[in-house]
A and B are shown apart, each in its own frame.
Chain A
Amino acid sequence: MTVQDSSGGIADLSSDLRFEIGTDDPLRLDCGIDLAPVTIAYRTYGRLNADKSNAILICHALTGDHHVANTHPITGKSGWWQPMVGPGRILDTDRYFLICSNVLGGCMGSTGPLSIDPASGRPWCLKFPGITIADMVRAQTRLIDHLGIDQLFCVIGGSMGGMQVLEWAAHHPQRVFSAIPIATAARHSAQNIAFNEVSRQAILADPNFLGGDYPLHGVKPSRGLAVARMAAHITYLSETALHRKFGRNLAGRDHFTYGFDADFQVESYLRHQGSTFVERFDANSYLFITRAMDYFDLAAESDGVLANAFARTPVRFCVVSFTSDWLFPTRESRALVHALNAVAANVSFVEIESDKGHDAFLLDEPDFHATLSGFIDSAAEHRGLGRRFFR
């Protein structure tokens, strides 16, 4: 089988790759439904080596997608982990074959609520089956099968991407050589479920939501989705970061309006975040994917003991958290590390000092990058992929 790839060019704008799961072998979801056909949109960077041992799966976060290191087709912005990917970079396209797929339930090419329900010939909308993090990973395992890869050298991701990393490590330990869960948790906390619920209620309350059938009527619940994004965006930052960036500065005026226009810069910033988000994201996808995060709890399926989910794991772990992340605080990572210690797993754990909140994992944090680089290089050496020559 030949494997298509985009030949490592980080500015490569060739079209997405697509992988189809046919009706002959549907995807069995946690909710009990057999879903088919399923399309998974993905991108690759770098080249798969002869023995297929250099593949790294990158798992994206809630509102991310597979445009990791190429110009985004809708926003025109550079990829969400662009600085990490490329020749000689941490995710070195000269050495590794990088894969990132849009999650099941997404809206950037993979099957989701906007896709056509074969039974009705219309978009699924809210009739799309409920999905879980495990379902997303199931779809990814099919893609990895299709690429002929038995074992991934590394699975890496932050936030919801980190949940997928943990799901891979817990349920497909033989297929993962190393795992890097970043700014994540083995279960979604009550507080995070609460934040998601606020976001979902904002969408559901939009008059254009139309019970989820808005795609059939050519409208979008843009107000609701924008508010959802605004609320969520606050949780991705920190008080310090917000204050440093905006303080109490007024937005293009020198006095209060005594009205409800965006007087403050922080308000206009959030409004901008909301309005650009609705251009690229589907509200129904937002509902289904946030739900998948809420359902995530690795310990629950192992008699409430997280360590059991990783018993006898051969995977090398590198757990990373950030000091100012209050969405996935360090204590969540520490609980994970304790569980991994309890099964004597090979684990590294670093809390990176940063005041940039949860989003720090997307930003240029030198300590974070040094940690990743050291761990990946060492794992590569153990995997027999050689030691990197430093430039």
Chain B
Amino acid sequence: MNDPTPVNAAAIRVDLQLVADMVEPGSRVLDIGCGEGLLLDYLGRFKQVDGRGIELSMAGVRAAVACGLSVIQGDADTDLQTYPPGAFDYVILSHTLQATRDPRTLLCHMLRIGRRAIVSFPNFGYWRVRLALLLTGRMPVTKTLTYQWYDTPNIHLCTIRDFTLLCREEGIAIEKAISLDSRGTARFDGGRRLSNLLGEQAVFLLRRT
């Protein structure tokens, strides 16, 4: 039998690393849309986190559970209702918000069942996205938005500014906002105007007010 451990856990995607850095060691974490559990595995090994995951794809769930992670097959849009309030310290949604049917309700559920929420998403306000649409007149396909319009799971794309406004409307406090440029290295304070133009993706740490 082969060792099913899938990851060189020291090397995770840069946006996942940013998310991981926001999590306090030893906390309780729910990762929504956890895929094969790369982030959960990392958090378990390096931050002693009590982690759970929800993943839509059965292949992802099987891989995660086979690695010893506590992951269930489920749908972010429908399966959060059953969790009790305050069950987790952090509820994480990495690059999944834009693919959900009802992001607003989902966000509220995340902050109901978690004390804090960490959300990352591709920024549709990124200058290359704007330019691509302006110059080609076609739906933008970039490094973070890799799909054609007809096969994309991303049905609710937003800009950093859109997201910030939604948080304000819902009375959600933004504790930290980081945006990443195309190299994934330079970081801007996501709260500033410029980040909506220069950030290819964003990571938000949110709290109930």
Contacts and interface: CB of A to CB of B under 8 A. Distances in A.
Contact of A370 (B58, B62, B69, B74): B62
Given A338-B82, A346-B52, A351 B65 contact: no
B21 interface: no
Given A337-B72, A344-B87, A353-B58, A391 B65 contact: no
A361 to B, nearest CB: 15
Contact of B3 (A341, A342, A378, A390): A390
A370 B66 contact: yes
B68 A341 contact: no
A207 interface: no
Contacts of B70: 316, 346-348
Nearest to A342: B82
B65 A381 contact: no
Nearest to A89: B1
A367 interface: yes
Given A373-B1, A390-B2, A390-B3, A341 B62 contact: no
Contact of A349 (B50, B61, B66): B61
Interface string B89-128: 0000000000000000000000000000000000000000
Given A338-B79, A350-B62, A370 B4 contact: yes
A351 B3 CA distance: 22
Interface residues of A, number: 32
A371 interface: yes
A367 B58 CA distance: 10
Interface residues of B, number: 25
A350 B83 contact: no
A374 B65 contact: yes
A344 B61 CA distance: 18
B1 A349 contact: no
Contacts of A348: 65, 69-72
Interface string A366-391: 01001101110111010000000011
A343 interface: yes
Contacts of A371: 62, 65-66
Contacts of B84: 342-344
A367 B66 CA distance: 9
Contacts of A346: 50, 52, 70
Contacts of B82: 307, 338-339, 341-342
A318 interface: yes
Interface in B1-54: 1-4, 50, 52
Contacts of B79: 338, 341
A350 B67 contact: no
A9 to B, nearest CB: 21
B162 to A, nearest CB: 30
A17 B1 CA distance: 32
B154 interface: no
Contacts of B182: none
A62 B68 CA distance: 30
B144 to A, nearest CB: 30
Given A341-B82, A370-B4, A349 B72 contact: yes
Given A337-B72, A342-B83, A378-B68, A350 B58 contact: yes
Given A337-B72, A353-B58, A375 B65 contact: yes
Interface in A204-239: none
B73 interface: yes
Nearest to A368: B62
Given A350-B58, A390-B1, A341 B72 contact: yes
A374 B68 contact: yes
A377 B65 CA distance: 11
B88 to A, nearest CB: 8
Contacts of A344: 83-84, 87-88
Contacts of B71: 348-349
A374 B4 contact: yes
Q: Which of B4, B58, B68, B74 has the most CB of A within 10 A?
A: B68
A242 B155 CA distance: 41
B66 A373 contact: yes
Contacts of A316: 70
Interface in A282-340: 307, 316, 318-319, 337-339
Interface of A: 88, 307, 316, 318-319, 337-339, 341-344, 346-353, 367, 370-371, 373-375, 377-379, 381, 390-391
11 contacts: A341-B82, A344-B84, A344-B87, A344-B88, A346-B70, A348-B65, A348-B71, A348-B72, A351-B73, A367-B62, A370-B62
Given A348-B70, A350-B65, 6 more contacts: A342-B84, A344-B88, A349-B72, A349-B73, A350-B62, A373-B4
